[in-house]
Amino acid sequence: MSETSEQLAAESTETPASKPKRRSFRRRGGVFVVSLLVLSFVMGGAGAAMVLLGVTNYGWGSALGLNQAAVDNLTHTQTNHLVLEESSAITDAVGKVNPAVVSIATSRNVQNFFGQTVQEQGGGTGFILTSDGLIVTNKHVASNENTTYTVFTSDGQQYDAQVLAQDPLNDLAVLKINATGLPVVELGNSNDLKIGQYVIAIGNALGEFSNTVTVGVVSAKERQITAAGAAGGVSEQLSGLLQTDAAINPGNSGGPLVNLEGQVIGINTAIAGNAQNIGFAIPIDLVKNVIQSVRDTGEIKRPMLGIRYIPITKEIAQVNQLSVDYGAWVLPGSGTGEVAVIPGSPADKAGIQENDIIIQIDGKKIDDTHSLPTLLASYNVGDTVTLTVLHKGDKEDFKVTLEASK
Protein backbone atom coordinates (compact mmCIF):
# COMPACT_ATOMS: atom_id res chain seq x y z
CA MET A 1 0.00 0.00 0.00
CA SER A 2 3.03 2.26 0.32
CA GLU A 3 5.87 3.05 -1.98
CA THR A 4 8.94 1.16 -2.96
CA SER A 5 12.23 2.81 -1.98
CA GLU A 6 15.71 1.62 -1.05
CA GLN A 7 15.91 -2.14 -0.32
CA LEU A 8 16.70 -2.79 3.30
CA ALA A 9 17.11 -5.90 5.39
CA ALA A 10 14.53 -6.27 8.14
CA GLU A 11 16.01 -7.93 11.14
CA SER A 12 15.26 -11.56 11.84
CA THR A 13 17.15 -14.21 13.79
CA GLU A 14 17.45 -17.78 12.86
CA THR A 15 19.87 -18.82 15.63
CA PRO A 16 19.60 -20.45 18.99
CA ALA A 17 15.72 11.13 31.87
CA SER A 18 15.09 13.19 33.78
CA LYS A 19 15.29 16.90 32.78
CA PRO A 20 18.40 18.94 33.74
CA LYS A 21 18.05 20.54 37.16
CA ARG A 22 17.54 24.29 37.19
CA ARG A 23 19.96 26.34 39.25
CA SER A 24 18.17 28.20 42.02
CA PHE A 25 19.09 31.84 42.59
CA ARG A 26 17.74 33.67 45.64
CA ARG A 27 17.08 37.35 45.09
CA ARG A 28 18.20 39.89 47.72
CA GLY A 29 16.27 43.03 46.91
CA GLY A 30 17.70 44.72 43.83
CA VAL A 31 21.35 43.91 44.49
CA PHE A 32 21.41 40.74 42.43
CA VAL A 33 19.98 42.40 39.33
CA VAL A 34 22.33 45.39 39.51
CA SER A 35 25.37 43.22 40.19
CA LEU A 36 24.53 40.97 37.29
CA LEU A 37 24.19 43.91 34.91
CA VAL A 38 27.50 45.41 36.07
CA LEU A 39 29.25 42.07 35.67
CA SER A 40 27.81 41.67 32.20
CA PHE A 41 29.11 45.02 31.08
CA VAL A 42 32.52 44.38 32.68
CA MET A 43 32.79 41.02 30.94
CA GLY A 44 31.79 42.53 27.61
CA GLY A 45 34.25 45.36 27.97
CA ALA A 46 37.07 43.07 28.99
CA GLY A 47 36.39 40.83 26.02
CA ALA A 48 36.53 43.78 23.65
CA ALA A 49 39.73 45.06 25.27
CA MET A 50 41.37 41.65 24.91
CA VAL A 51 40.60 41.60 21.21
CA LEU A 52 41.75 45.18 20.63
CA LEU A 53 44.99 44.70 22.57
CA GLY A 54 45.76 41.38 20.91
CA VAL A 55 45.58 39.45 24.18
CA THR A 56 45.36 35.93 22.78
CA ASN A 57 47.67 33.92 25.03
CA TYR A 58 45.82 34.63 28.28
CA GLY A 59 42.54 33.15 29.55
CA TRP A 60 39.65 35.45 30.24
CA GLY A 61 40.12 34.84 33.96
CA SER A 62 43.65 36.21 33.88
CA ALA A 63 42.55 39.22 31.86
CA LEU A 64 40.11 40.08 34.63
CA GLY A 65 42.65 39.55 37.38
CA LEU A 66 41.10 36.23 38.41
CA ASN A 67 42.83 32.98 39.23
CA GLN A 68 42.88 31.10 35.91
CA ALA A 69 43.16 27.73 37.64
CA ALA A 70 39.95 28.45 39.53
CA VAL A 71 38.21 29.44 36.30
CA ASP A 72 39.38 26.23 34.57
CA ASN A 73 38.19 24.18 37.52
CA LEU A 74 34.77 25.85 37.39
CA THR A 75 34.45 25.10 33.66
CA HIS A 76 35.54 21.48 34.23
CA THR A 77 33.03 21.11 37.07
CA GLN A 78 30.19 22.48 34.95
CA THR A 79 31.06 20.15 32.07
CA ASN A 80 31.17 17.14 34.38
CA HIS A 81 27.84 18.19 35.87
CA LEU A 82 26.22 18.20 32.42
CA VAL A 83 27.72 14.81 31.54
CA LEU A 84 26.58 13.32 34.84
CA GLU A 85 23.05 14.66 34.42
CA GLU A 86 22.92 13.29 30.85
CA SER A 87 24.12 9.90 32.04
CA SER A 88 21.65 9.96 34.91
CA ALA A 89 18.77 10.64 32.51
CA ILE A 90 19.74 7.59 30.45
CA THR A 91 20.10 5.27 33.42
CA ASP A 92 16.82 6.50 34.91
CA ALA A 93 15.00 5.93 31.62
CA VAL A 94 16.44 2.43 31.27
CA GLY A 95 15.55 1.60 34.85
CA LYS A 96 11.98 2.70 34.23
CA VAL A 97 11.28 0.69 31.06
CA ASN A 98 13.66 -2.29 31.32
CA PRO A 99 11.45 -4.40 33.65
CA ALA A 100 8.71 -4.38 30.99
CA VAL A 101 10.97 -5.50 28.10
CA VAL A 102 10.74 -9.21 27.25
CA SER A 103 12.63 -11.65 25.04
CA ILE A 104 10.61 -13.79 22.64
CA ALA A 105 11.87 -17.22 21.55
CA THR A 106 10.31 -18.96 18.56
CA SER A 107 10.47 -22.62 17.61
CA ARG A 108 8.94 -24.64 14.78
CA ASN A 109 9.54 -27.88 12.92
CA VAL A 110 10.69 -27.61 9.31
CA GLN A 111 12.12 -29.99 6.73
CA ASN A 112 15.73 -29.56 5.72
CA PHE A 113 17.34 -30.18 2.35
CA PHE A 114 17.47 -33.93 3.02
CA GLY A 115 13.79 -34.16 3.96
CA GLN A 116 14.55 -34.50 7.65
CA THR A 117 12.43 -32.72 10.23
CA VAL A 118 14.53 -30.29 12.24
CA GLN A 119 13.72 -27.59 14.75
CA GLU A 120 14.15 -24.02 13.56
CA GLN A 121 14.65 -21.45 16.27
CA GLY A 122 14.53 -17.67 16.25
CA GLY A 123 14.08 -14.76 18.58
CA GLY A 124 12.91 -11.23 18.99
CA THR A 125 11.88 -8.66 21.56
CA GLY A 126 8.64 -7.22 22.89
CA PHE A 127 7.35 -4.95 25.64
CA ILE A 128 4.50 -5.40 28.10
CA LEU A 129 1.53 -3.17 27.43
CA THR A 130 -0.88 -4.28 30.17
CA SER A 131 -0.32 -5.85 33.58
CA ASP A 132 -2.41 -8.87 32.54
CA GLY A 133 -0.06 -9.87 29.74
CA LEU A 134 -0.59 -8.02 26.44
CA ILE A 135 2.79 -7.78 24.68
CA VAL A 136 3.63 -5.70 21.61
CA THR A 137 6.20 -6.88 19.06
CA ASN A 138 6.79 -6.96 15.29
CA LYS A 139 4.65 -9.06 12.99
CA HIS A 140 7.76 -10.56 11.40
CA VAL A 141 8.73 -11.87 14.86
CA ALA A 142 5.35 -13.59 15.30
CA SER A 143 4.15 -14.38 11.79
CA ASN A 144 4.81 -18.07 11.21
CA GLU A 145 2.13 -20.71 11.51
CA ASN A 146 2.67 -23.85 13.59
CA THR A 147 5.20 -21.97 15.70
CA THR A 148 5.67 -22.08 19.46
CA TYR A 149 6.26 -18.72 21.16
CA THR A 150 7.91 -18.42 24.58
CA VAL A 151 8.25 -15.15 26.46
CA PHE A 152 11.03 -14.54 28.98
CA THR A 153 10.53 -11.57 31.31
CA SER A 154 13.40 -9.48 32.68
CA ASP A 155 13.14 -11.22 36.08
CA GLY A 156 13.70 -14.64 34.51
CA GLN A 157 10.10 -15.90 34.38
CA GLN A 158 9.00 -17.97 31.37
CA TYR A 159 5.55 -18.02 29.75
CA ASP A 160 3.91 -19.66 26.76
CA ALA A 161 2.47 -17.00 24.46
CA GLN A 162 -0.27 -16.87 21.84
CA VAL A 163 -0.54 -14.47 18.90
CA LEU A 164 -3.61 -12.36 19.58
CA ALA A 165 -3.57 -10.01 16.58
CA GLN A 166 -1.42 -8.94 13.63
CA ASP A 167 -1.20 -5.78 11.53
CA PRO A 168 0.87 -6.41 8.38
CA LEU A 169 0.68 -2.78 7.27
CA ASN A 170 2.58 -1.58 10.34
CA ASP A 171 4.60 -4.78 10.99
CA LEU A 172 2.85 -5.03 14.35
CA ALA A 173 1.75 -8.05 16.38
CA VAL A 174 0.24 -8.43 19.85
CA LEU A 175 0.93 -11.51 21.97
CA LYS A 176 -0.85 -12.65 25.14
CA ILE A 177 0.56 -14.48 28.15
CA ASN A 178 -1.35 -15.66 31.20
CA ALA A 179 0.01 -13.52 34.01
CA THR A 180 -1.00 -10.70 36.35
CA GLY A 181 0.77 -7.85 38.09
CA LEU A 182 3.31 -7.40 35.33
CA PRO A 183 5.33 -4.18 34.94
CA VAL A 184 4.20 -2.09 31.96
CA VAL A 185 5.66 0.60 29.71
CA GLU A 186 4.46 4.16 29.34
CA LEU A 187 3.73 5.31 25.78
CA GLY A 188 5.10 8.70 24.72
CA ASN A 189 4.48 10.96 21.72
CA SER A 190 6.56 10.30 18.62
CA ASN A 191 5.14 13.28 16.73
CA ASP A 192 6.96 15.60 19.15
CA LEU A 193 10.40 14.10 18.47
CA LYS A 194 13.17 16.37 17.17
CA ILE A 195 16.02 15.40 14.87
CA GLY A 196 19.09 14.89 17.05
CA GLN A 197 17.11 13.99 20.18
CA TYR A 198 18.60 11.22 22.32
CA VAL A 199 16.86 7.82 22.19
CA ILE A 200 17.53 4.41 23.74
CA ALA A 201 17.00 1.01 22.13
CA ILE A 202 16.47 -2.05 24.32
CA GLY A 203 16.26 -5.58 23.00
CA ASN A 204 17.28 -9.21 22.80
CA ALA A 205 20.36 -8.59 20.66
CA LEU A 206 21.22 -11.46 18.32
CA GLY A 207 18.47 -13.48 20.01
CA GLU A 208 21.00 -14.21 22.75
CA PHE A 209 21.79 -11.11 24.80
CA SER A 210 18.51 -10.11 26.44
CA ASN A 211 17.74 -6.52 27.50
CA THR A 212 20.76 -5.06 25.73
CA VAL A 213 20.83 -1.25 25.90
CA THR A 214 22.17 1.02 23.15
CA VAL A 215 22.01 4.80 22.88
CA GLY A 216 21.82 7.13 19.89
CA VAL A 217 19.80 9.95 18.39
CA VAL A 218 16.85 10.39 16.08
CA SER A 219 18.60 10.65 12.71
CA ALA A 220 15.52 11.37 10.57
CA LYS A 221 11.74 11.05 10.47
CA GLU A 222 9.14 9.93 7.93
CA ARG A 223 11.38 7.39 6.21
CA GLN A 224 9.92 4.92 3.66
CA ILE A 225 11.59 1.53 3.18
CA THR A 226 11.07 -1.90 1.67
CA ALA A 227 12.09 -4.49 4.25
CA ALA A 228 12.75 -8.21 3.82
CA GLY A 229 14.02 -10.98 6.06
CA ALA A 230 17.77 -11.51 6.25
CA ALA A 231 17.33 -14.84 4.46
CA GLY A 232 14.96 -13.41 1.84
CA GLY A 233 11.24 -14.04 1.95
CA VAL A 234 8.28 -11.75 1.68
CA SER A 235 9.05 -8.03 1.49
CA GLU A 236 7.07 -5.44 3.40
CA GLN A 237 6.75 -1.78 2.51
CA LEU A 238 6.79 0.47 5.54
CA SER A 239 6.44 4.24 5.70
CA GLY A 240 6.53 7.06 8.20
CA LEU A 241 9.42 5.43 10.09
CA LEU A 242 11.90 6.95 12.52
CA GLN A 243 15.57 6.55 11.62
CA THR A 244 18.09 6.19 14.45
CA ASP A 245 21.78 5.51 14.91
CA ALA A 246 21.20 3.65 18.19
CA ALA A 247 22.61 0.20 17.42
CA ILE A 248 19.80 -2.20 16.44
CA ASN A 249 20.78 -5.81 15.87
CA PRO A 250 19.01 -8.98 14.75
CA GLY A 251 16.85 -9.97 17.71
CA ASN A 252 16.02 -6.35 18.59
CA SER A 253 12.91 -6.54 16.40
CA GLY A 254 9.81 -5.57 18.36
CA GLY A 255 11.73 -3.92 21.16
CA PRO A 256 11.08 -0.39 22.40
CA LEU A 257 12.78 2.81 21.29
CA VAL A 258 12.66 5.05 24.35
CA ASN A 259 13.10 8.76 25.07
CA LEU A 260 14.94 10.16 28.10
CA GLU A 261 11.67 10.28 30.01
CA GLY A 262 11.51 6.50 29.85
CA GLN A 263 8.54 6.55 27.46
CA VAL A 264 8.23 4.26 24.43
CA ILE A 265 8.23 6.41 21.28
CA GLY A 266 8.93 3.70 18.71
CA ILE A 267 9.06 -0.03 17.95
CA ASN A 268 12.40 -1.18 16.52
CA THR A 269 11.78 -3.01 13.26
CA ALA A 270 14.53 -2.88 10.61
CA ILE A 271 18.16 -2.19 9.83
CA ALA A 272 20.09 -1.24 6.71
CA GLY A 273 22.13 -4.38 6.14
CA ASN A 274 24.84 -2.69 4.04
CA ALA A 275 25.42 0.24 6.41
CA GLN A 276 26.46 1.01 9.96
CA ASN A 277 24.03 2.28 12.60
CA ILE A 278 21.11 2.93 10.29
CA GLY A 279 18.07 1.47 11.96
CA PHE A 280 14.36 2.12 11.74
CA ALA A 281 11.49 2.14 14.21
CA ILE A 282 7.73 2.40 13.85
CA PRO A 283 6.58 5.67 15.51
CA ILE A 284 4.35 4.85 18.46
CA ASP A 285 1.78 7.48 17.39
CA LEU A 286 1.33 5.52 14.17
CA VAL A 287 0.02 2.47 16.02
CA LYS A 288 -1.63 3.87 19.16
CA ASN A 289 -5.13 3.43 17.74
CA VAL A 290 -4.27 -0.10 16.65
CA ILE A 291 -2.96 -0.94 20.10
CA GLN A 292 -6.04 0.56 21.74
CA SER A 293 -8.25 -1.49 19.41
CA VAL A 294 -6.58 -4.68 20.62
CA ARG A 295 -6.96 -3.64 24.24
CA ASP A 296 -10.65 -2.89 23.76
CA THR A 297 -11.75 -5.65 21.39
CA GLY A 298 -8.96 -8.24 21.30
CA GLU A 299 -8.40 -7.63 17.58
CA ILE A 300 -6.89 -5.04 15.28
CA LYS A 301 -9.34 -2.67 13.64
CA ARG A 302 -7.42 -0.17 11.55
CA PRO A 303 -8.95 2.29 9.08
CA MET A 304 -7.92 1.99 5.46
CA LEU A 305 -8.49 3.71 2.12
CA GLY A 306 -7.77 0.73 -0.10
CA ILE A 307 -5.13 2.14 -2.46
CA ARG A 308 -1.55 1.48 -3.50
CA TYR A 309 0.60 4.53 -4.01
CA ILE A 310 4.05 6.09 -3.91
CA PRO A 311 4.82 9.30 -2.02
CA ILE A 312 5.80 12.12 -4.34
CA THR A 313 9.16 13.82 -3.81
CA LYS A 314 10.71 16.70 -5.73
CA GLU A 315 12.81 14.21 -7.67
CA ILE A 316 9.81 12.04 -8.60
CA ALA A 317 7.82 15.11 -9.58
CA GLN A 318 10.64 16.37 -11.81
CA VAL A 319 11.28 13.04 -13.54
CA ASN A 320 7.59 12.42 -14.18
CA GLN A 321 6.72 16.06 -14.92
CA LEU A 322 4.04 16.17 -12.23
CA SER A 323 2.27 19.39 -11.34
CA VAL A 324 2.98 19.00 -7.60
CA ASP A 325 6.02 17.79 -5.64
CA TYR A 326 4.08 16.34 -2.70
CA GLY A 327 1.16 14.00 -2.11
CA ALA A 328 0.35 10.30 -2.65
CA TRP A 329 0.37 9.14 -6.29
CA VAL A 330 -2.14 6.30 -6.75
CA LEU A 331 -0.36 3.60 -8.77
CA PRO A 332 -0.50 -0.20 -8.98
CA GLY A 333 2.08 -2.30 -7.18
CA SER A 334 4.87 -4.19 -8.90
CA GLY A 335 3.39 -7.62 -8.17
CA THR A 336 0.95 -9.51 -10.38
CA GLY A 337 -2.61 -8.33 -9.82
CA GLU A 338 -1.62 -5.47 -7.50
CA VAL A 339 -4.10 -2.86 -8.72
CA ALA A 340 -3.89 0.80 -7.74
CA VAL A 341 -7.37 0.95 -6.19
CA ILE A 342 -8.66 -2.18 -4.47
CA PRO A 343 -12.14 -3.07 -5.79
CA GLY A 344 -14.90 -2.42 -3.27
CA SER A 345 -12.63 -0.39 -0.99
CA PRO A 346 -13.57 3.02 0.47
CA ALA A 347 -11.41 4.75 -2.16
CA ASP A 348 -13.09 2.77 -4.95
CA LYS A 349 -16.55 3.64 -3.65
CA ALA A 350 -15.61 7.33 -3.49
CA GLY A 351 -14.37 7.38 -7.10
CA ILE A 352 -10.59 7.52 -6.61
CA GLN A 353 -8.80 6.22 -9.71
CA GLU A 354 -5.35 5.14 -10.83
CA ASN A 355 -2.98 8.11 -11.46
CA ASP A 356 -4.92 10.36 -9.09
CA ILE A 357 -2.76 12.32 -6.64
CA ILE A 358 -4.10 12.71 -3.11
CA ILE A 359 -2.64 15.94 -1.74
CA GLN A 360 -4.64 16.54 1.47
CA ILE A 361 -6.71 14.77 4.12
CA ASP A 362 -9.17 17.09 5.84
CA GLY A 363 -7.01 20.04 4.77
CA LYS A 364 -3.76 18.47 6.07
CA LYS A 365 -1.04 18.38 3.45
CA ILE A 366 0.53 15.03 2.60
CA ASP A 367 4.29 15.61 2.36
CA ASP A 368 7.63 14.30 3.57
CA THR A 369 6.85 15.23 7.17
CA HIS A 370 3.21 14.12 7.17
CA SER A 371 2.87 10.84 5.32
CA LEU A 372 -0.46 9.31 4.33
CA PRO A 373 -0.25 6.49 6.95
CA THR A 374 0.71 8.98 9.66
CA LEU A 375 -2.32 11.17 8.93
CA LEU A 376 -4.67 8.17 8.65
CA ALA A 377 -3.45 6.84 12.01
CA SER A 378 -5.37 9.60 13.83
CA TYR A 379 -8.74 8.35 12.48
CA ASN A 380 -10.97 5.45 13.46
CA VAL A 381 -12.96 2.94 11.45
CA GLY A 382 -16.22 4.59 10.36
CA ASP A 383 -14.85 8.14 10.26
CA THR A 384 -15.58 10.17 7.12
CA VAL A 385 -12.70 12.21 5.74
CA THR A 386 -12.34 14.66 2.87
CA LEU A 387 -9.59 13.86 0.38
CA THR A 388 -8.35 16.68 -1.81
CA VAL A 389 -7.31 15.02 -5.06
CA LEU A 390 -5.76 16.01 -8.38
CA HIS A 391 -8.17 14.03 -10.55
CA LYS A 392 -7.64 14.13 -14.32
CA GLY A 393 -5.88 17.45 -13.97
CA ASP A 394 -8.50 19.12 -11.76
CA LYS A 395 -8.50 19.59 -8.00
CA GLU A 396 -11.54 17.88 -6.46
CA ASP A 397 -12.75 16.89 -3.00
CA PHE A 398 -13.85 13.31 -2.32
CA LYS A 399 -15.77 12.20 0.77
CA VAL A 400 -14.48 8.81 1.95
CA THR A 401 -15.82 6.72 4.83
CA LEU A 402 -12.98 4.67 6.29
CA GLU A 403 -13.46 0.92 6.69
CA ALA A 404 -11.54 -1.68 8.67
CA SER A 405 -8.58 -3.28 6.98
CA LYS A 406 -8.98 -6.92 6.00
Whether 92 is a known active-site residue: answer: no
CA distances from 311 to 10, 73, 224, 315 (A): 21, 54, 9, 11
The amino acid that residue 343 corresponds to is: P
Q: Which of 103, 167, 171, 245 is catalytic?
A: 171
Q: Which of 12, 219, 253, 293 is catalytic?
A: 253
Task: For residues 320 and 107, give the distance between their C-alpha atoms in angstroms, rounded to a whole number.
Answer: 47
DSSP assignment of 192-246: G--TT-EEEEEEEETTTEEEEEEEEEEEEEEEEEEEEETTEEEEEEEEEEEEE-S
SS3 label, residue 326:
coil
Q: Does residue 211 contact residue 276 with C-beta atoms inside 8 Å?
A: no
Length of the chain: 406
DSSP assignment of 142-204: S--TT-EEEEE-TTS-EEEEEEEEEEGGGTEEEEE-S-SS----EE--GGG--TT-EEEEEEE
Burial (CB count <10 Å: 0-12, 13-18, 19+), residue 88: middle
Pairing label, strands 394-401, 263-271: unpaired
Task: For residues 297 and 191, give the distance between their C-alpha atoms in angstroms, rounded to a whole number.
Answer: 26
Q: Does residue 282 contact residue 241 with C-beta atoms inside 8 Å?
A: yes
Task: For residues 300 and 32, give the distance between their C-alpha atoms in angstroms, rounded to a whole number.
Answer: 60
Task: For residues 5 and 237, give the distance between their C-alpha atoms in angstroms, rounded to a whole number.
Answer: 8
Task: For residues 294 and 176, give the distance between their C-alpha atoms in angstroms, rounded to a whole number.
Answer: 11
Q: Which residues are bridge partners to 147 per DSSP?
A: none
Q: Which of 12, 140, 143, 167 is catalytic?
A: 140
Mention every residue, 6+ apart, whose C-beta is less than 8 A from residue 81.
none
Whether 171 is a known active-site residue: answer: yes
Burial (CB count <10 Å: 0-12, 13-18, 19+), residue 27: exposed
Whether 397 is a known active-site residue: answer: no
Active site residues: 140, 171, 253
